[in-house]
Amino acid sequence: MQVRLDGRTALITGGSLGVGRAIATLFVEAGARVVIASRRAEVLAEACEAVAASAGTAPVAVAADVSDAGDCARLVREAEAAVGPIDILVNNAGTSKRGKFLEIDDATWQTDLDLKLFAAIRLARLVAPGMIERRWGRIINVLNTGAKAPPAEGAPTAVSRAAGMALTKVLAGELAPHNVLVNALLVGRIKSDQWVRRHETAAAGGSNATLDDYYAEMGKNIPLGRVGEADEFAAVACLLASDLGGYVTGTAINVDGGACPVV
């Protein structure tokens, strides 16, 4: 069985690093025409080179800040000008922001909601009409397992991600009659640049652990006994984006090695 996306177009936000880049690579390998977006043009350029080296074809890069409504509209215009109407939207933009509730100010809440929730709302609103008209579409919202099991001191991310899961279910119900499928993928502990940065911070603080040691320690509390690979996450996204995932909508799938206590 081969998962193919031939003839499909995809827009992936947060596509320059981590799981976003892995999804872009797998989509290109599967035959899709792909646009990746993030704020930093230089990192996007590096991502395009890396995807081309792995998949043989580079995605189109559009630098955009999806926390801004105007940039969302510009991103979709430029993406459609480059590859045609968008068939697959992967809302992957976001950072891990958490702290003590009483110490989080309004500005921090608003920034988090604009980046993680409103970006998904705005981009879905922009691409869904075309998907409805063509009677084919896929929207994948990348969240994290805190959406289902919010930890103490998990705000604002756990709250914005939980709202993203509710948005997924609302859109799935409304768009299903038009063959537009909407699902969420919930990240557990997946190897990514954010963990590399945290390892570097620990090293600066005096830790002698290597990055492999760091990942091995993280994996001890995961039922599968290890941290996940970005390619493993991307594989689930590729299946959902394909015709083989044509009867799956309204789901929130944990990709976490069994770590989340909620199914």
Please report where in the chains the tokens 């993280």 appear, as a residue: 218
Numbers of helices and strands, H then E, in the chain: 9, 9
CATH code of the region 9-190+229-255:
3.40.50.720
The yes-or-no verdict on residue 202 having pLDDT over 90 is no
As a whole number of Å, the end-to-end CA separation of the chain is 27
Mean pLDDT of the 203-231 span? 94
Q: What is the DSSP string of 32-76?
A: -EEEEEES-HHHHHHHHHHHHHHHSSPPEEEE--TTSHHHHHHHH
The domain ranges of the chain are 9-190+229-255, 191-227
79-98 pLDDT tens trace: 999 999 999 999 999 988 99
Mean pLDDT of the 110-127 span? 98
Please report where in the chains the tokens 């299946």 appear, as a residue: 239
Q: How far apart are CA 194 and CA 141, in angstroms?
A: 19
> Is there a contact between 125 and 76 (Cβ–Cβ < 8 Å)?
no
Confidence of residue 32 (pLDDT cuts 50, 70, 90): very high
Confidence of residue 164 (pLDDT cuts 50, 70, 90): very high
Query: What element of type H or E holds 144?
Result: strand 137-144
- Whole-structure pTM value: 0.97
Please report where in the chains the tokens 């920034």 appear, as a residue: 111
Q: How far apart are CA 63 and CA 54, in angstroms?
A: 22
